[in-house]
Chains A and B, each alone.
Chain A
Amino acid sequence: MAGHELIERHLRTLAERLPDPVVDELADGLLASYDDQMERLGDPDAAAQAALADFGDADTVTAAFIRASPARHAAITLLVAGPIVGLGWGATLVTANGWTSAIPLPLRLTLGLLLGSVVLMLVTALREQRHYRTVRLAALGGAATVAVVDTLMLGMVVTLVPPPSLLLLVALSGSVARIMLAVRAVPTLITRL
């Protein structure tokens, strides 16, 4: 497929990090650049080195794709929304009149574990610079788990029927908004590069 061992090696590195259609497109660009350099320089080694220098190293190219990826943008949005919704629930639970004692321990533990997982996945999606698939999977997992956490919170309120309050209303609205945000992000994360 490629015209030179150096080019093949570069494409193999990119193939380990980026989705197949992206690598196909990059391969076409890199090989077109190699062809141009061959016409200019006439020497395969010099042409391959010039094409690679002009193309950019694998870290730079991968990082540029990851920065522009919908997965990373979704992770940023959910990470920003996290403390806002969390503050709403925190204030609601701290000022609650006794009803929080009825929350079963297994549910508390489950929510804690899920919240920890969400933070871990979204931070991974934000910090990862070299593997596009990792960013995508982490953002997808984070979005899905956020939806589960908020659904559990809504379910808990429906089950325990706490006394209505403005703080509870704010927290519920925050969770509903975040579920919608996460659910809207999931198809994009699955289908779009």
Chain B
Amino acid sequence: MEQTIIEVRNLTKQFGDFKAVNSISFDVRKGEIFGFLGANGAGKTTAMKMLIGISIPSAGEAKVAGFDVYKETEQIKKNIGYMSQKFSLYDDLTVRENITLFAGIYGLTDTEIAARTVELTNRLGIADEADKLVASLPLGWKQKLAFSIAVIHNPKIVFLDEPTGGVDPITRRQFWDMIYAAAAEGITVFVTTHYMDEAEYCNRVSIMVDGVIKALDSPARLMQQYNAKSMEEVFIILARGAKRSDN
């Protein structure tokens, strides 16, 4: 029996009369790459914010890494990494200073920080740029760096909110190699994306339409079930009836 690391039951977020997330339920298994798909405005980011403890749900239950999303948000934060849609490293700090800051916040020791900085910059091939301001790096590098920093403390789960928005296909490919590497180390990956080819890299995906989860399975089985050649076709079939458009 595989271990469940995220457990969501009837989770709801309501803003006034509007149910941004309407009673969703799903499980994420330890070590898998879970794709959280949906059109713009479907409620993906809102759902994710509840899971990472920066938005309190209106109703329902959820446990992340065994901690309750209502009462134990600070515990959750110690056990997860997060990379937001907006690039959110500090542009006016160098690569090394950004690494040190976040590693320090997560409680790594000075020797661990030094070791991880060398390892990380070498792996990304930016050892020579370690003392340059992050602002001077190209977007693709910034995003790879942001991901590396999100997993610097070996979290149990890493949440990625549209991590590959705006980067070229080669960088996207490299980015996914990094995701696989993280998963191989035992980090569970929870990722939202627009790109349906990326959906096929996931172990399992859920497809959200208008605040509800319409489908949840492995990409292969979903394609079979909807008699589609690609995830893109599956997505179009499911999302066709969507009422909410782009924000």
Is B one of A's binding partners?
Answer: no
